[in-house]
Amino acid sequence: PPIILPLALSPTSLKITAFLCVLCASLCHGACVEVDSDTEAEVDSGFKLGCISCKRRGEVSAEAYVEWEFKPFNDSEPIPIYRYVDVENKEFLDSTLGFENRLEWRGSNNTKDLQDGSIYIHNVTFNDSGTYICTFYRTLKYNNYNFQTNRTKNIFLTVVPKLTRGLASILSEVMMYASIIGLQLWLVVEMIYCYRKIAAAGEEALRESAAEYLAIASESKDNCAGEQVAE
C-alpha cells in the first residue's frame, strides 16, 4: 500500500529525517566517471594527462597497474616511459626523452584497484607533442579464478606557445552563469510567493477564529439574557 507522509513534521521528526539523510549520504560510494583528457598544453607550464578506466563490475575485487607510452609525431613506434603499480612500485621506463624528472603520478592512491591513471608533466616543451598511450592492466578476482583484461586510451597532445580560449568555451561559461542567476531569481520569486500565500492564509484563519469567537460570545450573551427574562 502507498505510504502517506504528513504535511507537517514536528521538530523532532525533522531532526530524525535529517540524521537519516546524512547517514545514507555517508554510506554512499563515489561513482567512477570516464572523462576525456585535455589535448592542448602551453609550453613551459604544467599539464595533466588524464586517463580514467572505470571497472565494469564494482562488486568484483581487482588489482591493476598502469603503463604510459609516448609516440612522437615523427616516430612510428611508441616508447614506454612510465609504469605505476603502487606508491612504492613505480618507475620511469625511458630516460632518453627527458621525462624522468618531469613526470608525477596524479591518479588513484591508497588502492591496488587503480581506476585513475593520470600523470602530470612539469615544464612542458614543444618536444612533448605527440601521442600518449595509457594502458590499464587489470586482474579481476573471482571466487574460483582470475581474469586478465586491459584497456588502452590514446591522447593526442599538441604544445602551443599560448593557450587561447575557444568560442564554445566562452559561450558555455556565459550560459552557465546565466542559468545560475536565472535559478536564483526563480527561487527568490517562489519564496516571496509562498511567504505571501502563507501570510494570507494565516490572516484568513485569524479572521475566521475571531468571527467564531464573537459568534460564541454573542450566543452566550443571548442565552444569559433569555434566562434572566424567564426568571
pLDDT band at 25 (very low <50, low <70, confident <90, very high): very low
The letter for the amino acid at 206 is: L
Q: pLDDT at residue 21 above 80?
A: no
State whether residue 30 is helix, strand or coil: coil
**Region for 66 from its dihedrals, namely left if φ exceeds 0, alpha if ψ lies in -120 to 50, beta otherwise:** beta
What pLDDT, on the 0 to 100 scale, is given for residue 5? Answer: 42
What pLDDT, on the 0 to 100 scale, is given for residue 187? Answer: 92
What pLDDT, on the 0 to 100 scale, is given for residue 166? Answer: 65
Whether residues 113 and 128 share a domain: the answer is yes
Q: pLDDT at residue 224 above 80?
A: no
Q: Provide the residue count of the chain.
A: 231
In a domain, 108, yes or no: yes
Range of the domain at 110: 32-163
Strand (E) positions, 15-163?
Answer: 40-42, 47-49, 61-72, 79-86, 89-92, 103-105, 119-121, 130-141, 146-160
**Cβ contact 41:128 at 8 Å:** yes
Model pLDDT for residues 136-177, shown as the tens digit of each residue: 999 999 989 999 999 999 999 999 998 876 667 778 888 899
In a domain, 24, yes or no: no
Whether residues 210 and 112 share a domain: the answer is no
C-alpha closest to that of 134 among 84, 96, 97: 84
In a domain, 26, yes or no: no
Q: In the Cβ-directed half-sphere of 99, how many Cα atoms lie within 13 Å?
A: 25
Q: Do β-strands 119-121 and 103-105 pair in parallel, antiparallel, or remain unpaired?
A: antiparallel
In a domain, 231, yes or no: no
Residue 171: count of CB within 10 angstroms of its CB: 10
144's CB contacts (< 8 A; 6+ apart) are: none
What pLDDT, on the 0 to 100 scale, is given for residue 101? Answer: 85
Whether residues 65 and 134 share a domain: the answer is yes
Whether residues 115 and 150 share a domain: the answer is yes
What pTM was computed for the model?
Answer: 0.60
Q: Give me the mean pLDDT over the 196-211 stretch.
A: 80
In a domain, 5, yes or no: no
| Overall domain count for the chain | 2
Q: Percent of the chain beyond pLDDT 70?
A: 77
State whether residue 107 is helix, strand or coil: coil
In a domain, 4, yes or no: no
Q: What is the mean pLDDT of the chain?
A: 80
- CATH code where residue 41 lies: 2.60.40.10
In a domain, 213, yes or no: yes
